[in-house]
Structure 1
Amino acid sequence: MSPNSIKFELIVTIVNKGYAEDVVSVAKQAGAEGGTIIHGRGTGIHENAKLFGISIEPEKEIVLILIDKTKCDSVLLAISEEVGLNKPSRGVAFVLDVEKTVGICHLGNGYCSDKK
């Protein structure tokens, strides 16, 4: 699949427990329709984990935001700035290309998988 045919991207944001709702709220204000929150934990759960001398909170929340490629940069920037991902121990976000989707019919813009 060529890069030009990719219509969606997935913004994955991993933050400390309690910040996922902030990520979703900021993303919605920037043009996203919502997101999915998954609870997780870091690998240092039974000890005080440190990275470069900074304590790492083991309880995490992962926010998955499937978004139209044209909106991705502005939503990612809003998340980074408003949640403070550029500060130590606040979290990380990255983007993955999504080559195929099914079931996205509510947008009414040709992305529904059952349209031919």
Structure 2
Amino acid sequence: MREDTRIRLMVIILDRGKGVRAAELFASYGLPLHYGTPGRGTANSELLDYLGLGETEKDVVFSLVPGFTIPGILQAAGEKLQLAIPGKGILFTMPLSAVSGAAARFINSQAHRAGTEQEEHMPEQGKNELIVAVVNSGCTDTVMAAAKLAGARGGTVLHGRRVGEEAEKNSDSGVWLEKDIVTILAPRELRLPIMEAVNKAAGVATESHGVLFSLPVEHAMGLSRLDK
């Protein structure tokens, strides 16, 4: 069987302060490229208590990984980062349409295989989607209220800023430059109802001026109790 060297984007969301542990784990596989940003969880207090989450401040770590490392990483993350226990964090991978050749060769040359004997126990593929809503700052509650009515159980918020010539031109005209990026990992069958509900409540035609899109997810860990 030909080794899977295609590069994926791997995302892990953990309680604040634990992102370094994730980067150290990935580095043990020879993976060299990791990018982190602070985030904020949006699950309500009742769900946080149910999941055993003590805080909503999050570390979000993005890594580029070749396919042949994923089985071992999932196994190790379940054990060393306790992602096999619901409420300890979420990890998922997404396919990329293209990666620069130099970066792909470098990542593959540095990465090494481990734990692939557990490949048959990997989570089922293609059952989830990452829904992304980019809205005016302060509109997160509107997004999540609509999403939860459609079946979403929580999300993670990243803070951003609109950039570009048009944004700068309108910076003094009341156009919102500060943006909240709301990410929701959900079962594929809920993608359409969630996106329709969010678009109605916080889409481009509303005061939130939301832009929505979704991305396919290949593997996911840490969702079992959310799914239930």
Shift of residue 105, structure 1, vs aligned partner: 2.6
Q: Partners of 2:177 and 2:227 in 1: how far apart?
A: 40
Is 1:104 matched up with 2:223? yes
Shift of residue 95, structure 1, vs aligned partner: 0.6
TM-score, structure 1 as length reference = 0.74
Question: Identity, % of aligned pairs?
Answer: 39
Is 1:11 matched up with 2:131? yes
- 1:39 aligns with 159
Q: Secondary structure at the match of 1:33?
A: coil
Q: Partners of 2:158 and 2:227 in 1: how far apart?
A: 27
Gaps of 5+ in 2: 1-124
Shift of residue 21, structure 1, vs aligned partner: 1.2
Q: Partners of 1:103 and 1:87 in 2: how far apart?
A: 33
The answer on whether the counterparts of 1:30 and 1:75 sit within 8 Å (CA) in structure 2 is yes
Count of aligned pairs: 103
| Aligned-partner residue type, residue 74 of structure 1 | P
Is 1:27 matched up with 2:170? no
- 2:30 aligns with none
> Displaced runs of 4+ in structure 1, greater than 2 A?
46-50, 84-89
Q: CA-to-partner distance for each residue in 1:45-80, whole Å, 9 max, x for gaps?
A: x93437xxx864110000000000011101100011
Gaps of 5+ in 1: 110-116
Shift of residue 26, structure 1, vs aligned partner: 0.6
Q: Partners of 1:77 and 1:89 in 2: how far apart?
A: 15
- 1:49 aligns with 170
Q: CA RMSD in A?
A: 2.9
Change (3 A) 1:61 1:107: closer
| Aligned-partner residue type, residue 49 of structure 1 | N
Shift of residue 38, structure 1, vs aligned partner: 1.1
- Mean Cα deviation higher: 79-88 or 91-100: 79-88
Change (3 A) 1:55 1:12: same
Q: Which structure has the larger Rg? A: 2
- 2:108 aligns with none
The answer on whether the counterparts of 2:135 and 2:202 sit within 8 Å (CA) in structure 1 is no
